[in-house]
């Protein structure tokens, strides 16, 4: 197969179309997810562009297990990173910081 699909998959799609006249999968049985769209939206807003909130704290806040938070972050394709410590600077680096900040500010304001 040139498209990369197995022959059985293609036959099953054709068979499903002949019987139900649809290509998509029908709803499946199973345990429903604990979080709804409202909670997913709140979770996304809470974790977006933030590095300091842990998944355990989020689990306590939303009243679910930590694994549920992990699953939902994965489900909304949100890359989540743990808290990072600030780097330790040497005395020499600390002296260079004000000069470099001025240079960057000048570059931004002149454009």
Q: What share of the chain is helix, strand, coil (3-state, %, to 5)?
A: 55, 0, 45
Structure tokens at 69: 């938070």
Give the model confidence (pLDDT) of 31-76 as tens digits.
777 677 888 888 888 887 676 678 888 889 888 899 888 888 888 8
Structural domain includes residue 24: no
Reading phi first (left if > 0) and then psi (alpha if -120 to 50, else beta), residue 97 is in alpha
Structural domain containing residue 50: 33-80
Structural domain includes residue 105: no
Structural domain includes residue 51: yes
> How many domains are there within the chain?
1
- Size (the chain), residues: 111
> What is the spatial distance between Cα 79 and Cα 59, in angstroms, rounded to a whole number?
17
pTM above 0.85, yes or no: no
> What is the spatial distance between Cα 56 and Cα 95, in angstroms, rounded to a whole number?
39
């Amino acid at each position: 197969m040139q498209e990369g699909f197995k022959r059985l998959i293609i036959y099953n799609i054709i068979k499903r179309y002949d019987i139900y006249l649809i290509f998509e999968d029908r709803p499946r049985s199973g345990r429903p997810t604990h979080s709804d769209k409202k909670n997913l939206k709140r979770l996304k807003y809470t974790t977006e562009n933030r590095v300091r909130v842990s998944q355990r704290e989020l689990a306590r806040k939303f009243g679910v297990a930590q694994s549920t938070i992990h699953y939902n972050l994965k489900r909304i394709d949100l890359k989540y990173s743990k808290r990072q410590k600030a780097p330790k600077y040497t005395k020499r680096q600390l002296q260079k910081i004000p000069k470099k900040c001025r240079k960057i500010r000048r570059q931004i304001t002149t454009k």
